[in-house]
Amino acid sequence: MKNGQGNKIGKRGLLKYLDDHLAQLFIVPALICLALLVAYPALLTLYNSMTNLSMLTMSANKFVGLKNYTTVLQGSEFWVSLLNSLVYTFFSILGQFVFGFISALALQRITKGRTFFRTAFLIPWTFPSIALTFLWTWMLDPSFGILNFILMKIGIISDPIPWFSMKSTALASVIAMNIWFGFPFIMLSFCAGLQTIPVEYYEVGKIEGVNFFQELRYIVFPGLKRIIGVLLILRTIWVFNNYDFIFLTTGGGPNISSQTVPIYAYFTAWKRMAMGRGSAITILLLVFVSLFIALYFKLFKINDQEADE
Amino acid sequence: MTKSMTISRIAGKAVCYLVVVIIFVVAVFPFFHLLSSALRPYSELFARPPLLLPKTFTLEWFQKVLNYSKFFQYFRNSIITALGSTLLSVAIGCMAAYSITRGGYRGKNLFSKAILVAYMFPPIILIIPLFQIVNGIGLANTHFGLILTYITFSFPFSAWMLVSYFKTIPKDIEEAAKVDGASNLRVFTQIILPLAMPAVVTAATFTFINSWNEFLYAFVLANSDVTKTLPVALYSVKGGEMMEWGPVLAWSAMLVVPSLIFFLCFSKHIVSGLTAGAVKG
């Protein structure tokens, strides 16, 4: 009897204790996910990158030290891929920002149909990568594609161009597709950012008689600085990590002319069966991405959760 | 002076409308072309020069896709994987968001940073080890195995989306309830969650769409018909020498529809969630 009562109190005490520490308790599932599905796999990759792990001999792998890294870094394929990655990322982001910014600015200044147009502009961004890439492959088809036809009609080109399978146009075509796909998100963010700029600033500008470019320089850009910074870093990471778009359109080709680092890693690990070397490539990719993650943390103090309020 | 100013203002506005219309055409035309191509018969699909608009409409390609013997199995796989990863990620995300916004313990900053890092992690780096892990624990070619890998990107995403919303929920109500003797768990389930419902629904929707659209993990990890999702199945349809453009375009159009509807409905909430709370408003 007494014992049972004690147990009950103990139980209630335990529940009370758990409830008092609910916040700590609630990180447990997330911690398990982070540990088992992100941290552990990342460490496993680091380990794999120092073995001769292969698709064919999944378990029988030998420790080879830094050999994979030296092989990768000494070959030219890595550097070509890295250069392609940089070109792909830089021009995709540049295009997305230019179009996103122009759209947001134009939308802000029109009065009729603003919501309609803003919603319509979002359409490219709703495309799953598989539908996006197939649609563009279809539009750019040299025999039946509508784009070659339109470009020939306006007189920009005289013969159909196999955009995705020509060395000189492959990467540029994927970039064009990526700009089309990604500009709506930038636009949406800029629309939100433009709303935070007080109307009085524009009014003062008008009284001072500033022209359009002065307005951009002294009112709009300073107001969007933070958003531009956040977007620039996040988008860079996403586009740099992106794999689907190139894999599904050019496949990195012709030859390796449009192959980026993620594609190189994939082919090395899964097509050439050299998973150890493939892992080393992904670690090198992570090193590069880490620079941007670090920059993000340095510029935006996200750890001050309360500071915003 | 005033006259020239009005003229330049009108001209400026006209330029804006022109820009909007041009971007509208560029943004919408490919989508329109996808639908109009998927709805035209074979002869018009491969007409030269290509037709801007179909002369006759047909649903034959859509019918053909729906008649694939395994289409509904792939559809089911996609639904199960997307729903499973959504439920798990949002549940874990809600708990993590509560912990980050309401907890006061050491290591909290580290924890929230770790989630953000996971959010930016290159998926390609995780593929080989996830493949090993999923195979190692006997979950190869199961829905749950694929769901687990989807959690790597969907849980950090929903957690961040929820954190930025949880922050905006005023704490007075919670404190009042606590004064009345309500437990933390009660406050969480009966005050915070109901108030956060719009954000929870939005996060769930986005997680669902992200999983629905996902290609890379499914491509590497779901090789059998038991787990293959719609995008991967579409990829294998494309294979072979000649692209079967009719079914491929119809299938692509069908894949776009869910995300199109959801994104257009939730466009307002996209920004704050995706930029990890760094964009206000």
Question: B169 and B243: one domain?
Answer: yes
Question: A129 and A34: one domain?
Answer: no
Question: B176 and B198: one domain?
Answer: yes
Which residues 142-201 in chain A show a CB within 8 A of chain B?
143-146, 149, 180, 184-185, 188-189, 192-193, 195-196
Question: A187 and A38: one domain?
Answer: no
CB atoms within 10 A of CB A243: 21
Total domains present in chain B: 2
Question: A162 and A260: one domain?
Answer: yes
Q: Is the pLDDT assigned to residue B272 strictly greater than 70?
A: no
In a domain, A180, yes or no: yes
Cβ contact, residue pair B20, A103, below 8 Å: yes
pLDDT of residue B265: 78
In a domain, B280, yes or no: no
Residue B213's domain is classified under what CATH number? 1.10.3720.10
In a domain, A262, yes or no: yes
Q: Is the pLDDT assigned to residue B240 strictly greater than 60?
A: no
Closest-CA distance, B142 to chain A, in angstroms, reads 17
Question: A288 and A257: one domain?
Answer: yes
In a domain, B107, yes or no: yes
CB atoms within 10 A of CB A211: 10
Question: B167 and B93: one domain?
Answer: yes
Mean pLDDT calculated for residue range B58-83: 89
Q: Which two tokens stand for residue A255?
A: 């030859």
Question: B119 and B219: one domain?
Answer: yes
Total domains present in chain A: 2
Question: A98 and A14: one domain?
Answer: no
Question: B212 and B262: one domain?
Answer: yes
When pLDDT is cut at 50, 70 and 90, the band that residue A266 belongs to is very high
Picking from B149, B192, B203, B184, the residue whose alpha carbon sits closest to that of residue B168 is: B192
Q: Give A251: exposed, middle or buried? Use CB within 10 Å, 0-12, 13-18, 19+.
A: middle
For chain A, what is the mean pLDDT? 85
Question: B166 and B242: one domain?
Answer: yes
In a domain, B193, yes or no: yes
Question: A12 and A135: one domain?
Answer: no
pLDDT of residue A93: 94
Q: Is the pLDDT assigned to residue B32 strictly greater than 50?
A: yes
Q: Is the pLDDT assigned to residue A194 strictly greater than 50?
A: yes
Taking contacts as CB-CB distances below 8 angstroms, the residues of chain B near A265 are: 124
Question: B33 and B110: one domain?
Answer: no
In a domain, B48, yes or no: yes
Question: B159 and B137: one domain?
Answer: yes
Q: Is the pLDDT assigned to residue A132 strictly greater than 90?
A: yes
Question: A102 and A233: one domain?
Answer: yes
Question: B154 and B270: one domain?
Answer: yes
pLDDT of residue B263: 75
In a domain, B209, yes or no: yes
Domain boundary, last residue among B42, B58, B74: B58
Measured CA to CA, the distance from residue A89 to residue A96 in angstroms comes to: 10
| Domain that includes residue A182, residue range | 67-299
What is the identity of the amino acid at A140?
Answer: L
Rounded to whole angstroms, what are the CA distances from B232 to A63, A95, B224? 34, 29, 10
pLDDT of residue B25: 94
For residues B238, B244, B248 and B250, what is the CA-based torsion angle, rounded to 10 degrees? -170
Measured CA to CA, the distance from residue B204 to residue B268 in angstroms comes to: 15
Q: Are A92 and A239 in contact (CB under 8 A)?
A: yes
| Domain that includes residue B11, residue range | 2-58
Q: Are A186 and B275 in contact (CB under 8 A)?
A: no
Tens digit of pLDDT for each residue in B165-211?
Answer: 888 888 888 888 888 888 888 888 888 888 888 888 888 888 888 89
% of chain A exceeding 70 in pLDDT: 93
Question: A155 and A210: one domain?
Answer: yes
Rounded to whole angstroms, what are the CA distances from A272 to A48, A53, A90, A266, A277? 16, 12, 29, 9, 10
Measured CA to CA, the distance from residue A210 to residue A215 in angstroms comes to: 6
pLDDT of residue A307: 37
Question: B224 and B155: one domain?
Answer: yes
Q: Is the pLDDT assigned to residue B57 strictly greater than 80?
A: yes
Question: A233 and A290: one domain?
Answer: yes
For chain B, what is the mean pLDDT? 85
CB atoms within 10 A of CB A68: 26
Question: A81 and A112: one domain?
Answer: yes
Q: Is the pLDDT assigned to residue A293 strictly greater than 80?
A: yes
In a domain, B281, yes or no: no
Mean pLDDT calculated for residue range A120-132: 91
Closest-CA distance, A119 to chain B, in angstroms, reads 6
Phi/psi class of residue B239: alpha, beta or left (left: φ > 0; alpha: ψ in -120 to 50)? beta
pLDDT of residue A8: 58
Question: B131 and B23: one domain?
Answer: no
In a domain, A56, yes or no: no
In a domain, A62, yes or no: no
In a domain, A167, yes or no: yes
Q: Is the pLDDT assigned to residue B117 strictly greater than 80?
A: yes
Question: B247 and B156: one domain?
Answer: yes
In a domain, B279, yes or no: no
Q: State phi, psi for A21 to the nearest 5 degrees.
A: -105, 35
CB atoms within 10 A of CB B241: 4
Q: Does A283 touch chain B (CB under 8 A)?
A: yes
Q: Is the pLDDT assigned to residue A304 strictly greater than 50?
A: no
Picking from A109, A243, A114, A94, the residue whose alpha carbon sits closest to that of residue A182 is: A94
| Upstream peptide bond of A254 is cis (omega within 30 degrees of 0) | yes
Q: State phi, psi for A63 to the nearest 5 degrees.
A: -75, 125
The single residue listed with the structure tokens 């496949």 is A251
Measured CA to CA, the distance from residue A92 to residue A180 in angstroms comes to: 9
Three-state DSSP at B104 gives: coil
Question: A227 and A255: one domain?
Answer: yes
Cβ contact, residue pair A278, B128, below 8 Å: yes
User: What is the DSSP-derived secondary structure letter of residue A125?
Assistant: G
Closest-CA distance, A300 to chain B, in angstroms, reads 8
CB atoms within 10 A of CB B253: 21
Tens digit of pLDDT for each residue in A64-118?
Answer: 888 889 988 998 999 999 999 999 999 999 999 999 999 999 998 888 888 888 8
Mean pLDDT calculated for residue range A228-236: 85
**Beta partners for residue A274, in sequence order:** A54
Question: A76 and A123: one domain?
Answer: yes
Choose from B23, B109, B223 for mutation: most chain A CBs within 10 A.
B23
Q: Does A134 touch chain B (CB under 8 A)?
A: yes
Residue A105's domain is classified under what CATH number? 1.10.3720.10
